Amino acid sequence: MKQLFFAITFILSLTSFGQKKLELKEIDLNRVMKDIVYSDAGDDQISILYWIPDVYWDIMSAKDPRNFNAETVSMIKQLLENKSLFFAVSGKMNSTTHTFDAKEESYLRSNISVTFNGKVYKPMTEAKLSEEMKMLNDYIKPVFSRMLGDMGSGLTLFFFDVNDGNGQNLLNPYSDTDFSVKLCNVNHTLHLPLPCLYSDSKCANDGELFPANYEFCPYHGSKLITQ
């Protein structure tokens, strides 16, 4: 019975959202990365997925205007042309050479997809990428590759055109419509809006903080206090 109560309150805790939207300077970059990066290390395979929403560049500009000024952010968004940007890497550690053996880009391209509102999207082909998008790839891929060390050599950037028919990007981190990303055998759901963009909720019983997309405390079942 206790386990059933916990399961029910946990589900209910994710059903509503009414928190204060944070100013860009207030957003914790570490929590952003926690929300937009997913890793899986099952079956001797290591897979890492990055979703880079537009607001990521705005946050970087607010946090580090010296390296990400408004002009740079504007340029990146223009080059993206309202497309969704994902990074992916998958492979396994070589026990003999102690290096990371990454899957080829062609394999990743064939095995990555985004599902939104029941529709499955595949990445844009190289032939459909504009010269501006290719330039953007050359500009930002090395930055993220360095973050992964040896694994970064296998990192691949993918553009997805998930739009509403009028060119508007549907993968909005502030929306309330979840979507999922599949890479090989890994399927990850991104729950929106991203909690890192809002203030935490607080438990009235012990003051413990929970992500903004929790409405009820999963331990006490009481409604959380919005801040």
In the chain, what are the domain boundaries?
A: 1-20+199-227, 24-197
Burial 166-196 (b: 16+ CB within 10 A, else e): eeebbbbbeeeeebebebbebebebebbbbb
Structure tokens at 143: 């930055």
- Where residue 92 falls (left for φ over 0; alpha for ψ -120 to 50; beta otherwise) is beta
DSSP 157: E
- The letter for the amino acid at 226 is T
Structure tokens at 126: 């190289």
pLDDT in tens, the chain (227 residues): 444 434 433 433 444 455 789 999 999 999 999 999 999 987 778 999 999 999 999 999 999 999 889 999 999 998 888 999 999 999 998 888 888 899 999 999 999 999 999 999 999 998 999 998 998 888 888 888 888 887 888 899 999 999 999 989 999 999 989 999 999 889 999 999 999 999 988 888 898 988 887 888 888 888 888 77
